[in-house]
Amino acid sequence: MAPSKTSVHESLKWHQGRIDQIDETLAIEEPLEIRLAGRRFTLTMRTPGHDEELAAGFLLAEGFIAAASEIDEIRRVRDARGQADPNSIDVILKVPADGLRERLKRNFTISSSCGVCGKTSIEGITRRIAPIKTRSKIAASTLLELATKLRASQEVFAATGGLHACGLFDLEGTLMATREDIGRHNAVDKVVGWALNQKMLPLSKTVMIVSGRTSFEIVQKAAAAGVPILAAVSAPSSLAVQLAQQVGITLVGFLRDGSFNAYTHRARITR
C-alpha cells in the first residue's frame, strides 16, 4: 500500500472580507532515517513515497556508491514485533570496508567545505565525477514545453500547492519519470534512484527539470547521474553556475512563460 502524501487540516480562509472555515489538503512532511548495514547514517525530511529511490539516488550523488551493482539490498527497518518502520530504511552495500571508510572520509571533507569555500567544494566533486561529454542536443522549442509538462505531472502539488518536483525527459521532450517531494533535492534523488534501478545511468541523453531554483547541490546530483542538460523554472545560484561549467552541464534557468536563460555549455540548445 502506497504511503499517504497528503493530510487534511482545518483552516480559516480570509478572502475579500469574507471568512470561511475550510478543510485544506496539506503535503505530508516526515523524517526518513537512512541506515548503512544497521548503523544510523543520515536523516532527511521528506514526503513519504519512493524512499528506496531516494536513498539510492542520495548515495550515488554523494559518492558512496558508483553503480547500482554496489547496492546489495534496501530494506525496511523492523521493530521487535517484525513491524516495518515507515520512516526508517537500511541499505546493505557491496563495498569493501576499507573503500567505504575512504568514501565516508572523502564525503565529510567535501561536505564540510561546501558553503565555506566553493572552489574546494567544486574541486572535490570534479575529482570523483567525470566531465560530461556528450553530443546530445535539444531544440529550444522542445525545451520551452518541458516546464508545462512537468507542472501537469505534479499530482500532489495540484492538491496541495506545497511540493517541489523533478522530471526526467528524453531529448524529444517525452516525460520518463516525475517525483515530488517537500524538498527539491529529495525529488532529484528519487528520480536518480529510479534511473539507477532501471540501469539507465549515465543519463547522457536526457534533460532534467526541477521546480524552483537550482542550487550547487542539485547540479552535483545531476552531474553524478550524467545528466547533460539541467533546467529550472527559477534562478540558479552563482555556485551552481560555476559547478555546471566545470562538470560540463548545460544549465538553464527561468524556464517559464515562453523564455529561458542559458548559462553554461549553450551549444547543446539548438534553434
Amino acid 150 reads: L
| For the chain, counts of helices (H) and of strands (E) | 8, 14
Q: Does the active-site annotation cover 114?
A: yes
Cα–Cα nearest to 208, from 198, 197, 189: 189
Do the beta carbons of residue 32 and residue 88 sit within 8 Å? yes
What nine digits make up the cell of 115?
A: 558553503
Cα–Cα nearest to 138, from 6, 46, 270: 270
Catalytic residue among 68, 92, 104, 114: 114
DSSP state of 190: H
Measure the CA–CA gap between 240 and 220, rounded to whole angstroms.
Answer: 8
Do the beta carbons of residue 214 and residue 236 sit within 8 Å? yes
Distances (CA, A) of 262 to 79, 144, 163, 234: 50, 12, 25, 12
The dihedral region occupied by 187, where left means phi > 0, alpha psi between -120 and 50, and beta the remainder, is: alpha
3-state secondary structure at position 21: strand
3-state secondary structure at position 128: helix
- The residues assigned a catalytic role are 114
